[in-house]
Structure 1
Amino acid sequence: MSHPDQHTIDLLLEKHALGICTPEERAILERWYAAFPAEGHVFHDESEKQAMKESLKTGIFGVIREEKAEISAEPLHKIPGKIPVRRVYWRAAAAILVLITTGSLFYLFRGKPEAVSYTEVSAPAGRNILRVKLPDGSDMWLAPGSRLRYASHFGEKSRDVQMVDGLAYFAVAPAASHPFTVSTASGIVAKVLGTEFSVKAYHGLQDVQVYVTTGMVQVSDSNHVLGVLEAGQQIVYQLATHTATRLDEQVDDWRQGSLLLQHVSFGEVAHILQNRYQVRVAYDTAMMSSYRFNLRITDKASLEEVLEMLKDLSGMTYTLHDGQVTITGVQQ
């Protein structure tokens, strides 16, 4: 049986970290782990051995200590005369996989973490939509009041964007060697190779939304893959219950200035008013929690016009004074 090449192993390790390996692929990884030599030299020379020894020591030592504890806890008649070396290699490989999945692989190659600097991009509230070209040639659009950041070496070894707050649209330049990922503070990750999609993750709201315009996008939370979306599909992830709902419905391109809101909470409406019109919004959360809104805010609509639409839809009463909207009640 031929052994898989390193590129295949790298892909399978990545899929294993994402939790999307098939049983057949897991079997390939298990055979690869088991293929570590039971005898013979692992390192080419002593210098390579010493170079790797210190960087692997922390991760491997804990695994070996656990191995010894397991053996000491077994009945005496079950203790083997010798710990199989292959078993230790398996545990060592598992420890390395842990380092890979936790983002600590650099410890295998560096004596200490490399300092990472970030470039932060913000779209000022009350201004127009901000368009930015990323170093890899991808484009992104930020709705007013939105913020994100990316590592200064973006595009060289990875293409990871961190969504801090708000709404952003991405047109991703294809690059199969470096997948493009957008992660939110809540742990939702959208991963693509080359496509167009948007991510909505407002700080303080109870859901995160990913909508795909073209291509395909894989969406995951901190535990597993939630789904692979195609054009015209979106996932709405509820943070409180950790549940995801897939929807098949078209979403307007908000980059043109108009924003279509469908079944949104007043909390999201308040975020949009604050960001689009640069005002403060004060309201009783409990009073407005049961209301959901369907409305379109055009690029020409004034704050007063939007407030009157909300009043017509819900019966809410409000005051507007000195840059602050105060919701005073709801007329039944």
Structure 2
Amino acid sequence: MTEEQAKELLQKYLDKQASPQEQKKVEEWYATLNQENIELSDDRKAAIGEQMFAHLQTAMHEKPKHGKVFKLQSFIRIAAAILIIVTLGISIWRLHAPIKLENEITVITGSAERKRITLSDGSMVLLEPSAKLCYPKAFDSNNRQIALKEGEAFFDIAHQEKRPFTVHTTSGVDIRVLGTSFKVKSYQASKHIEVAVVTGKVAVSNKKGNLGTLIKDEFLTYDKSAGRAAIGKTKAVAFIELAFDGASLEQVINKLQYVYSIKISLSDSALNKLKSTAVFSSRQSPEEILDIICSLHHLKFNGSKNHKTFNIYR
């Protein structure tokens, strides 16, 4: 039985929607409990989800003990508490559990060595000297996760809206993106972690919550001992290539929106299918790139005063 099935079974019982067979299973489980008060102590938070789940699985295969009177009101109170504990406990356990990557590949650079790594989704990582990176041979269908164990690295992430990309660090600070480029500096011996965004937008967080959302030319410094983060402005730390080979206008727009943190709309949805083949650099302004793209397709565009919103039309 999975975690979700366990929660659904308890919830069905509390809602009086469980079948007679399901009621019997839950009552058998309850019969094995020897206490009425279940506390979530701090030192057992990480393990309580597994323990409660194990109790449930065991009870499902045991016969009920005869002679015990089942008290519905008492059970409802305990079952409700257990339902919360199972959810909270397993969530906490997952939060603190070490990141495990399937078919993990580890790359370590020497003291004077730099390495360029291309990931399975086409994303690129440039490792600086004395760095360590762990990543899966192939990402799963729902998300993309890698771990920067030590050192400094520049990431140019392939845009995939339905598969978020997360960089984990050993200090518990995570960087989550959809498609952008940024730099992370995370040395175990250092008191600080630094994240600098070149293009797009990233969200930086730890186990307590969001530390900040960064856009182009912003950086975040995190003090590991104090648990505090500060955000500032910086000049671009690098420039990336924006290459389109027969890409649809829709794909081009999506890439530009993430790279420059802007909004681009089309006056006619039929324009989405127009194809573009060109190479640009993030050094160029979005207006310059849009001007070239529109010229290729005999289109026009206009922009807002703050240069954050654009519209393409015939």
Report if the CA contact (8 A) 2:102-2:136 is conserved: yes
> Which runs of 5 or more residues in structure 1 are unaligned?
1-9, 11-32, 50-55, 64-79, 105-113, 256-332
Match of 2:17 in 1: 40
2:145 to 160, 167, 182: 160
Q: CA 1:194–1:94 in 2, change beyond 3 Å: closer, same or farther?
A: farther
Q: Deviations over 1:104-136 (max 9, x none)?
A: 8xxxxxxxxx99442102233323x32111112
Match of 1:120 in 2: 106
Distance 2:108 2:181 in 1: 20
Distance 2:18 2:220 in 1: 50
2:183 to 198, 221, 245: 198
Report the residue type matching 1:239 in the other structure. K
Distance 2:223 2:190 in 1: 9
1:183 to 139, 145, 168: 168
SS at match of 2:135: strand
Match of 2:197 in 1: 212
Match of 1:245 in 2: 230
Distance 2:13 2:109 in 1: 52
Report the residue type matching 1:147 in the other structure. K
Q: CA 1:153–1:97 in 2, change beyond 3 Å: closer, same or farther?
A: farther
Q: Please provide the CA RMSD for this pair.
A: 4.3
Distance 1:164 1:135 in 2: 19
Distance 1:130 1:154 in 2: 20
> Which runs of 5 or more residues in structure 2 are unaligned?
5-9, 27-48, 57-70, 241-314
Report the residue type matching 2:194 in the other structure. Q
- Return the offset for 1:93: 4.6
Report the residue type matching 2:51 in the other structure. T
Report if the CA contact (8 A) 1:160-1:182 is conserved: yes
Distance 2:219 2:105 in 1: 28
Matched, 1:59 2:52: yes
Distance 2:149 2:239 in 1: 19
Match of 1:95 in 2: 86
Report if the CA contact (8 A) 1:158-1:179 is conserved: yes
Report if the CA contact (8 A) 2:128-2:151 is conserved: yes
Distance 1:226 1:93 in 2: 27
Match of 1:151 in 2: 136
Q: Deviations over 1:4-26 (max 9, x none)?
A: xxxxxx9xxxxxxxxxxxxxxxx
SS at match of 1:102: helix
Q: Deviations over 1:280-299 (max 9, x none)?
A: xxxxxxxxxxxxxxxxxxxx
Matched, 1:223 2:216: no
Q: CA 1:101–1:180 in 2, change beyond 3 Å: closer, same or farther?
A: farther
Report the residue type matching 2:238 in the other structure. D
- Return the offset for 1:212: 0.8
Report the residue type matching 1:169 in the other structure. F
Q: CA 1:42–1:246 in 2, change beyond 3 Å: closer, same or farther?
A: farther
Report the residue type matching 1:224 in the other structure. G
Distance 2:14 2:234 in 1: 54
SS at match of 2:74: coil
Report if the CA contact (8 A) 1:201-1:208 is conserved: yes
Report the residue type matching 1:162 in the other structure. A
2:157 to 163, 169, 172: 172
Distance 1:165 1:158 in 2: 22
Match of 2:290 in 1: none
Distance 1:192 1:43 in 2: 47
Distance 1:101 1:57 in 2: 11
Distance 2:214 2:103 in 1: 32
Report the residue type matching 1:40 in the other structure. Q
Report if the CA contact (8 A) 1:38-1:85 is conserved: no
Tell me the TM-score normalized by structure 2: 0.52
Report the residue type matching 1:120 in the other structure. T
Report the residue type matching 1:59 in the other structure. M
Tell me the TM-score normalized by structure 1: 0.49
Q: Deviations over 1:211-231 (max 9, x none)?
A: 111111111122221111111
- Between the aligned residues of both structures, percent identity stands at 24
Report if the CA contact (8 A) 2:166-2:174 is conserved: yes
Q: CA 1:44–1:188 in 2, change beyond 3 Å: closer, same or farther?
A: farther
Report the count of equivalent residues: 198
Q: CA 1:84–1:150 in 2, change beyond 3 Å: closer, same or farther?
A: same
Match of 1:328 in 2: none
For residues 305-320 of structure 1, the aligned pairs below 5 Å read: none
